[in-house]
Amino acid sequence: MALAIDPRTLDYVALGVFVTVSIFLIYLIIYIHDIPYEIAKKRNHPHQDAIHVAGWVSLFLMHVIWPFLWIWAYLYKPEQGWGLESVEVKLPKDDIEEFKELKDKITLLEQKLDSIATKEEAN
């Protein structure tokens, strides 16, 4: 005797599998689009709210701007910021010595001006 399954039961099982897979895919797409925001939040990015909103806009623009959001989130480094603040200019030794000489000359001139100003005030 063969086990008979009602065709409507198979339809309901297929519908359940379809709904489950559809919900899983929707959550997966939302999770993937939040990756740049999570990166920005982890790095304490100053524009993390803008990246989050742009991620949602990216859903409606067929994911065109999503790679740029990823790059935008990674550009900011927590220890350096945008990388412009910690630029060090290294001068050759000759320039450093010349700079020190000029600084000494400026201090001498300032002292002379102060002494002249105090003499004029005394008169």
Mean pLDDT over residues 103-120, rounded?
A: 91
Whether the pLDDT of residue 99 is over 80: the answer is: yes
Instruction: Give the whole-angstrom CA distance, residue 23 versus residue 60.
Output: 18
Whether the pLDDT of residue 15 is over 90: the answer is: yes
Q: What is the pLDDT of residue 23?
A: 98
Q: What is the pLDDT of residue 1?
A: 54
Mean pLDDT over residues 35-58, rounded?
A: 94
Q: Which of 43-52, 83-92, 114-123 has the lowest mean pLDDT?
A: 83-92
59: pLDDT confidence band, cut at 50, 70 and 90? confident
Tokens representing residue 82 in the block? 């945008």
How is 16-76 classified by DSSP, letter by letter? HHHHHHHHHHHHHHHHHHTHHHHHHHHTT-TTHHHHHHHHHHHHHTTTSSHHHHHHHHHH-
* Nearest residue to 65 (alpha-carbon basis) of 76, 80, 50: 50
CB 29 within 8 A of CB 59: yes
Question: What are the respective helix, strand and coil percentages of the chain, to the nearest 5?
Answer: 70, 0, 25
